[in-house]
Amino acid sequence: MAKRIMTVDDSATIRQMLSFTLNDAGYEVIEAIDGRDAYDKLKNNPVNMVITDLNMPQMDGIELIREVRKDPANRFVPIIMLTTESQEKKKQEGKAAGASGWIVKPFSPEQLLAVVKMVLVA
Amino acid sequence: MNEKILETFREEVAELLADLEGSLLELEETPDDQPTIDRVFRALHTIKGSSAMAGVDSIASFVHQVENVYELVREGELAVTRELIDLTLVAKDQLRLLVAALNGAGSVDSELLDETTAAFSQLLPASAVATPPSASAVEHAETCTYRIRFRPDLDAFRKGLNPMFVLRELRQMGECLIVPQLDAVPDLETLDPESCCLRWDVVLTTDQNIDDIRDLFIFFEDHCTQLAIDVIDDGGLLDTEAGYKKLGEILIERGDLDQEALNQALQSKTKIGESLIGSGLVSSGRIEAALTEQRRIQELRQERRVAEIASSIRVRSDKLDTLVNLIGELVTVQARLSQNAAGSSDAQMVSIAEEVERLTWDLRDQVLNIRMLPIGTTFNSYRRLVRDLCGELGKQVTLVTEGAETELDKTVIDRLGDPLVHLIRNCVDHGIESPEDRIAAGKPAQGTVRLSADHSGANVLLRISDDGRGLDRDALRRRAVANGLLAADAEIADRELYNLIFLPGFSTAREVTSVSGRGVGMDVVKRSVDELRGNIEVSSLPGQGTQFTIRLPLTLAIIDGLLVDIAGESYVFPLAAVEECVELRRAETAANDRNLANVRGELVPYVRLRDFFTVPGQRRDIEQIVIASIGGNRVGFVVDHVIGEHQTVIKSLGRFYQGIKGLSGATILGNGSVALILDLPQIVDGTSLLEKAAGF
């Protein structure tokens, strides 16, 4: 069965890029437009991995990570943050909240898949 | 770029820009409202992220500047002013045009764009404008063996991290031995299954570099109590004669044991490993890991030794000398064969002669190649020399060597030892100042002597330089005048003045030290280099240092020569020194009697070899000048005519002929006759002496 990945980003462009790349590589993708949307969708859709942006309206990435880690069902789900070079502080905050790792934007499809593969060994 | 993604991008940015405009107008009314500031920042941030991901770098870099400014606003470090809002609205309009331009609709006013970008960057502190440095890839192809100590945090599982994936990746990188450490695993009753209590020691042999390995652990970086990656074998460079490290040494190196505990354990009669486990000093897992490391290194070195034995054999160098001599004979015989074949009408004979010639040349190159050694084999002994001299003279000097891999004929290397020792001694003794003088001159207390070797055509260039006080021009001049080498009012170029130090008995050292300064040295150096068919030059800058440049032929046994004829006798020029050949007509020589030829407008001094060797007979109407580079100057040598290139096997002259100036050896030609090999620098020296004697 295909592994399922949730992508969380308020940018439609990035969501679409993520979906294209991950679908092509055989993963199933659930998109969420911000932290709140992701949190709601996770309740009914167990996933193997979450890829989330940090700066989002409603619920930001850090808050989402904290909430996900509180849920016993998702305590061990790998969470990868999408960060930019200038967000070093955010990266540290995210790690403290329980993120597994990060990818620096912009990234190529190959870089994304390399990280996903490292975290989600088939 | 995927058209669908670009379409999404355009729609998204249009939406965000509309939001941005609304938020900016709101912000103008309530400049301190944090949620509005956040909204502006987020809109900019999202546009930047999306455009970078969509590959529209022009938009991404433009927005980046604007975003940086609003980051300061968000942090409360910059106030929102009417001007800032105006500027941001202009930027917003620019962005709309940039996005429209992606469709091919409308055009962007690049001047206004640059102005806007500049206006935003002026609002930023200097440090924020700099672009982030890009990571540079490190080239690495050698196979190395690494010791990796990997101790994840207890809560690694709770961060969604799985160490097994990393170990699996490590396995795929190369030959990988993994020893799990169980000492932190508690009893079953107290074991928390959500805690990561396992640790690992890994010995990995791979051709990937240390950064590639570290990348695997990127998510564990902050979730490790220990992550250490050390090189324990670098594919041969660390091999020492001292043998393998003992178990105790490895344990100390790994930080599992201290020297004192090891000494105690060594006193017991049992094996060191057992004794350490028995006394509870080191766990069995750690001993196992250290043993694994030791065994792996032993295996690797053994493999290398076997490979080395299989790929090389030792041969006494005199056997090689004999081989080179035989090749010399063969080249001579082959020349005879070629000459006879050329004169015969037998096509088959000609073809065989050509084949033999080709094979002989290949054989010659291969055999000479065997004798080539990297010059670096001698460099280490100079390190010791410099160290000892520093102690003796109270100076601080480091020796930097470059081009240790440059290859030279073994004979040349063997005979180069003494001259190099002399030059390095001179650099340390006379060149480099005392630490106090250096500091006073604004230089670091520690001086540097540099020894470098590299190829230059058919020659090897050796440079010995220091960053010391340089040659004392005035002292040299005084000395030259005192020795009668120079008239008191003579004008002389610095380069020529400096090269006087190679004359016998010439020394300016104020006091004679045990190291150098007796004036016997530089002339000996020059003679040794001359004997190697090389030349030496010195250059110097006051206060900045001195450099000696030695140019040497790659080999001494066989050289490429230029065969010429003077009154029916054959002579050979070393081809490496020859630059060109031109004609010299009697009419031209009649026009001036100063032995200067006009070569394409340049005046080149020449030596008539007929005169130099006092060859009797009439000179020809049209002679030829072989122009060679001697000590950096172009000098012509007039011969009757040039015959052509010649593979020259160098034979030394008999004892009675060795003192003859201008000749360095002889060779046997294809027809069995002897040709003399010219020593060009000596001819030039001899001639200038003649000139002086004649009052020029």
> Which sequence spans correspond to the domains of chain B?
3-129, 144-308, 317-371, 388-553, 558-693
| pLDDT at residue number B466 | 92
Beta bridge partners, B566, equal B569
Nearest one of B206, B207, B203 to B228, comparing CA atoms: B203
Beta bridge partners, B409, equal B372
Domain ranges for chain A: 4-114
CA angle (B438 as vertex; B437, B441 as ends), nearest 5: 90
Segments of chain B with pLDDT less than 70: 1, 126-142, 236-244, 269, 308-312, 380, 456-458, 505, 507-521, 554-557, 587, 589-593, 631, 658, 688-696
| pLDDT at residue number B135 | 34
The domain defined by B144-308 folds into Alpha-Beta Plaits (3.30.70)
Q: Which phi and psi angles does B552 have, rounded to 5°?
A: -125, 145
Q: Do B12 and A78 touch (CB under 8 A)?
A: no
pLDDT one-digit tens code per residue, B620-667: 888 899 998 876 778 999 999 999 888 787 777 777 776 788 887 888
- Identical topology for domains B3-129 and B558-693: no
* Residues recorded for chain B: 696
| pLDDT at residue number B393 | 85
- Return the DSSP state at B254: T
Q: Supply the CATH classification number for the domain B558-693.
A: 2.30.30.40
* Correct CATH for A4-114 of 3.30.450.40, 3.30.465.10, 3.40.50.2300, 1.10.10.10: 3.40.50.2300
Mutation target to probe the A interface, by most A beta carbons within 10 A, among B45, B164, B168 is B45
Q: Which two tokens stand for residue B83?
A: 């001007």
Query: Considering only CB atoms, which chain A residues are within 8 Å of B41?
Result: 55
Q: Tell the burial category of A26 from Cβ atoms under 10 Å away from its Cβ (0-12, 13-18, 19+).
A: exposed
List, as one string, the DSSP characters of A8-29. Answer: E-S-HHHHHHHHHHHHHTT-EE
Q: Supply the CATH classification number for the domain B317-371.
A: 1.10.287
| pLDDT at residue number A19 | 92
CA distances from A96 to A88, A100, B55, B211, B325 (A): 13, 10, 31, 25, 76
Instruction: Measure in Å the smallest separation between the Cα of B13 and chain A Cα atoms.
Output: 9
Query: Considering only CB atoms, which chain A residues are within 8 Å of B132?
Result: 85
Q: Does B8 touch chain A (CB under 8 A)?
A: yes
Closest Cβ opposite residue B165 in set A82, A107, A121:
A121
pLDDT one-digit tens code per residue, B121-173: 888 776 554 443 333 333 344 688 899 999 998 888 888 888 888 888 888 88
Q: How far is residue B163's CA from residue B150's CA, in Å, rounded to a whole number?
A: 9
Going by their DSSP bridges, the two strands A4-8 and A28-32 should be labelled as parallel
Going by their DSSP bridges, the two strands B578-585 and B569-574 should be labelled as unpaired
Q: How far is residue A42's CA from residue A30's CA, in Å, rounded to a whole number?
A: 9
Give chain A's mean pLDDT.
87
| pLDDT at residue number B692 | 40
Chain B residue closest in CA terms to A76: B160
* Correct CATH for B3-129 of 3.40.50.300, 1.20.120.450, 1.20.120.160, 3.90.700.10: 1.20.120.160
Chain B residue closest in CA terms to A55: B42
| pLDDT at residue number A90 | 79
The domain defined by B388-553 folds into Heat Shock Protein 90 (3.30.565)
Query: Considering only CB atoms, which chain A residues are within 8 Å of B71?
Result: 86
Here the ipTM equals: 0.78
Chain A residue closest in CA terms to B216: A118
Query: Considering only CB atoms, which chain A residues are within 8 Å of B8?
Result: 12-13, 16
